[in-house]
Amino acid sequence: MRGRVARNAVAIGSAGLLALALAGCQQSEPGEDSGQTDLKIVEQVQIDQNGTEVPPDESAAPADPAGDGQAQCPPVSIAMAGALNGPDAALGINIKNGIQLAVDKHNAANPGCQVQLKTFDTEGDPQRATQIAPQIINDAFTIGLIGPAFSGETMATGDVFNQAGLVAATASATNVTLSDKGWRTFFRGLGNDGVQGPAVANYMKNTLGHQKVCVVDDSTDYGLGLAQTVRETLGPVADPACNISVKKGDKDFSAAVTQINGASPDSVFFSGYYAEASPFVQQLKDSGFAGTFVSADGAKDPEFVKQAGDAAKDAILSCPCGPSTGSFAEEYRQKFNQEPGTYSSEGYDLGTIMLKGIDSGAITRPALLDYVRNYDGRGVARQYQWSPTGELTSSLIWIYKVQ
């Protein structure tokens, strides 16, 4: 998830907004598969902010939420807040499932310490998140939160959780400014857009060799913030003739498509969510656009491929989220009968960290906050250690391709 945006401003398109019928173009109806089901989002390479390949660190095994099986604790719970219904549900469900897998593994191995996962559906809406936040903090059993999932709802509620002293670790909100608020309880479980933007921009310039790029944002907190860093890093490669803003919820991108084709760029970078990315790339391809479609974590979800169909082929997607591999991926498939999605591994890792804290005796909000603040360990997705502002001390970006 990544940074997600105020729904009023026009929320987050992270997860499931479906491509709708477009005037003048043949599009699939919402929820309808556009036809190509064998395409997959496949990891390609891990890169730094310069767009340079960084081999994955496989020197240590990821933390296991089962622990040693000897944990003892009173009844405690951890909460998850994010979109579980509505147009943005896919990414929230990915996170919830990752946490649930960690909790279930822990509880099966530790009969003396049964931790409950309590989920809160924000629908990705900052206003709804502010209504739900009091329910979370007023539950005396809840000592930690994974979420909120999107940047807009995180901005709207961060101070509430901070005032309550409740650790709030997001698996997906990537807006850079979230760590500038002075919140003691905020932790980001992945790289922010200030890392992702330069990384993917430099990858387009230096690795792909693109000399002209059209940058299109969806006018959300997430889309605007990421697009700004991409444009700044691309410099003159970002063609001002096709510096375009669309709106969350748009279905007809014909004006943008015409403007892009007039500029004849090597690629289009779309800064937004898959609900809009899917019809957008379809309309681009239908228009004869032969360049590369590039987007980021807001579009990196199987729903993008499902909704865009053949038009998604060869799309490049960046993400601060790591690929789901090894035993975690197999256990996830067995439990949920589907592949891990974007942020599933981050949800699992953050859940594991809180469970390890509980097992260590950190069974109050202040104790768990202190545990997370001083944590340093390997997860499925990456190494987790945080700066005083809640940013990871080291964060890298993955490049994926639809193939």
Q: Is residue 98 part of a domain?
A: yes
pLDDT reported for residue 326: 83
Q: How many CB atoms neighbour CB 140 within 10 A?
A: 9
Pairing of strands 383-385, 376-378: antiparallel
* pTM reported for the whole predicted model: 0.83
Cβ neighbours of residue 167 under 8 Å, at least 6 residues apart? 143, 144, 145, 185, 187, 354, 365, 368, 369, 372
Among 375, 237, 302, residue whose Cα is nearest residue 39:
302
Tell me, yes or no, whether 140 and 103 share the same domain: yes
H-type helices in 174-220, by residue range? Answer: 193-202
Q: Is residue 62 part of a domain?
A: no
Domain range for 116 is 76-191+325-393
Tell me, yes or no, whether 283 and 228 share the same domain: yes
Q: Is residue 143 part of a domain?
A: yes
Tell me, yes or no, whether 153 and 221 share the same domain: no
Supply the DSSP string of 141-154, one letter for each residue.
TEEEEE---SHHHH
Among 273, 295, 319, identify where a domain stops.
319
pLDDT reported for residue 37: 60
pLDDT reported for residue 167: 98
8 A C-beta contact, residue 202 and residue 50: yes
Q: Is residue 227 part of a domain?
A: yes
**CATH (domain of 361):** 3.40.50.2300
Among 85, 126, 82, residue whose Cα is nearest residue 344:
82
Q: How many CB atoms neighbour CB 230 within 10 A?
A: 27
Q: Is residue 71 part of a domain?
A: no
Q: Is residue 70 part of a domain?
A: no
Among 304, 319, 334, identify where a domain stops.
319
Pairing of strands 167-170, 213-217: unpaired
pLDDT reported for residue 15: 36
* pLDDT tens per residue across all 403 residues of the chain: 444 333 333 333 333 333 333 333 333 333 344 444 689 999 999 999 999 999 887 778 999 999 999 999 999 999 999 999 987 788 899 999 999 999 999 999 999 999 999 999 999 899 999 999 999 999 999 999 999 999 989 999 999 999 999 999 999 999 899 999 999 999 999 999 899 999 999 999 999 999 999 999 999 888 998 999 999 999 999 999 999 999 999 999 999 999 999 999 999 999 998 989 999 999 999 999 999 999 999 899 888 999 999 999 999 999 999 888 889 999 999 999 998 988 999 999 999 999 999 999 999 999 999 999 999 999 999 999 999 999 999 889 999 999 9
Query: Strand 142-146's sheet: what is its strand order?
Result: 115-121, 76-82, 142-146, 167-170, 186-188
Tokens of 291: 């360049």
Tell me, yes or no, whether 238 and 329 share the same domain: no
Q: Is residue 401 part of a domain?
A: no
Tell me, yes or no, whether 271 and 381 share the same domain: no
CA distances (Å), 111 to each of 116, 353, 358, in order?
13, 19, 14
H-type helices in 115-179, by residue range? Answer: 126-137, 151-164
Tell me, yes or no, whether 273 and 309 share the same domain: yes
pLDDT reported for residue 6: 36
pLDDT reported for residue 89: 87
pLDDT reported for residue 23: 33
Tell me, yes or no, whether 262 and 375 share the same domain: no
Mutual orientation of helices 151-164 and 126-137 as an angle, nearest 10°? 20
Tell me, yes or no, whether 310 and 219 share the same domain: yes
Tell me, yes or no, whether 199 and 313 share the same domain: yes
pLDDT reported for residue 302: 87
Tell me, yes or no, whether 99 and 210 share the same domain: no
Q: Is residue 279 part of a domain?
A: yes
How far is Cα 266 from Cα 201, in angstroms, rounded to an integer?
13
Tally of domains within the chain? 2
pLDDT reported for residue 1: 46
Among 19, 150, 32, residue whose Cα is nearest residue 81:
150
Among 279, 300, 319, identify where a domain stops.
319
Tell me, yes or no, whether 21 and 39 share the same domain: yes
Tell me, yes or no, whether 213 and 293 share the same domain: yes
Rg (CA), the chain: 20
How far is Cα 292 from Cα 310, in angstroms, rounded to an integer?
14
